[in-house]
Amino acid sequence: MYAIVDIAGKQFKVTQDQFIYTPSLEGEEGASVVFDKVLLVDNDGKVKVGAPTVSGAQVSGKILSHLKDDKVIVFKKKRRKGYKKQNGHRQGLTKVLIENIK
């Protein structure tokens, strides 16, 4: 059984007892979260496709930790002008354990 869920504007294919890294979510570590925007549910070959979401379907999970992604270096340069600028960015992530798909 798997589901496709919209979490913070991104779509994830999730199964039970799976870890996913989502964009930063509100909540403390150990708190439970429920995702209502379920776009598709596959239950042993029986597929339900939502228009746009499947009514009554929910995916519940548990927040395990908040962390940061790998650093991305942003380097800008204009040749022959003496202009160089370098920035780094680390996106915030939340590690979520998928507990149940209803």
Give the tens place of pLDDT for each residue, 21-67. 999 999 999 999 999 999 999 999 999 999 999 999 999 999 999 99
- pLDDT at position 94 is 98
CB 58 within 8 A of CB 36: yes
Domain carrying residue 49: 2-101
Total domains in the fold of the chain: 1
- pLDDT at position 32 is 97
Mean pLDDT, the chain, integer: 97
27: DSSP letter: S
- pLDDT at position 58 is 97
E strand intervals along the chain:
2-7, 10-15, 19-23, 32-35, 38-43, 46-49, 59-68, 72-78, 83-89, 92-101
Q: Give the predicted TM-score (pTM) of the model.
A: 0.85
- pLDDT at position 46 is 95
- Say if residue 52 is preceded by a cis peptide, omega within 30 of 0: yes
- pLDDT at position 77 is 98
Residue 66, burial from CB neighbour count under 10 angstroms (0-12, 13-18, 19+): middle
